[in-house]
Amino acid sequence: MGDPASPDGNVIGHSMSATKADGRSSRKGRNKNTFDIYREGGSTAEILLTVQLVLAARRWRSLLDEKLRPIEQSSARMEAMSAILNSPDMPAQVDIAKRLRIEGPTLTRMLDTLEKDGLVDRIPDPTDRRSKQLRLTDDGEEALAQIFDVAEVYRSRLLDDVDPETMAVVNSFLRGLLAKLDSGLPGVEAAE
């Protein structure tokens, strides 16, 4: 059986079994790792998947930012306001940072501008003086509705030929990846 190939025909990997005199495998004399494969212009299904996930997310975010610029909004503002709106009760600032998977200071800067623009209120938490709870203002909800209107046009165009079954499978797959990433990929340390 021949070496598996990537969709573009590049060799995915093959085995060579030379060993150095001290018993260590040389880079040339061991089963090829993903770096060796990639360096030679090949790929693996795993490399392709992770690279394409990153590129698709970047391109979507870039497109969305470009289309939101005329209404003085961005995908980052959309994410923050959506997380606030879609949280039970009034979420704490730290909870929104965790939900968005961003550092606290990054969210703080975002909230500073949203608050200055009258889109978000920060309210002292009655049970914890160090914490702030967040809520969208009426203007914030209106701005978020405008953002969703713009995003929906391009989301529909991007996904118009994806059938519901495929969408469900992809969403399930991505939820699983996010859960693994959120858990810190248990077992990776043991493999290192």
Domains of the chain listed by start with CATH number? 1-43 (no CATH), 59-162 (1.10.10.10)
Q: Buried b / exposed e across 117-127, counting CB within 10 Å, b at 16+?
A: eebbbbeeeee
> Are 13 and 5 in contact, with CB atoms under 8 Å apart?
no
d(CA 34, CA 51): 13
Give the global pTM.
0.75
d(CA 72, CA 124): 28
H or E element in which residue 129 lies: strand 128-136
According to the model, what pLDDT value does residue 49 have?
Answer: 94
pLDDT by residue, tens only, the chain of 192 residues: 333 444 454 434 433 323 333 433 344 545 678 888 888 888 899 999 999 999 999 999 999 999 999 999 999 999 999 999 999 888 999 899 999 999 989 999 999 999 999 999 999 988 888 888 999 999 999 999 999 999 999 999 999 999 999 999 999 999 999 999 988 887 766 555
According to the model, what pLDDT value does residue 14 have?
Answer: 36
According to the model, what pLDDT value does residue 38 have?
Answer: 85
d(CA 35, CA 47): 10
Burial category of 107 from C-beta neighbours within 10 Å (exposed 0-12, middle 13-18, buried 19 and up): buried
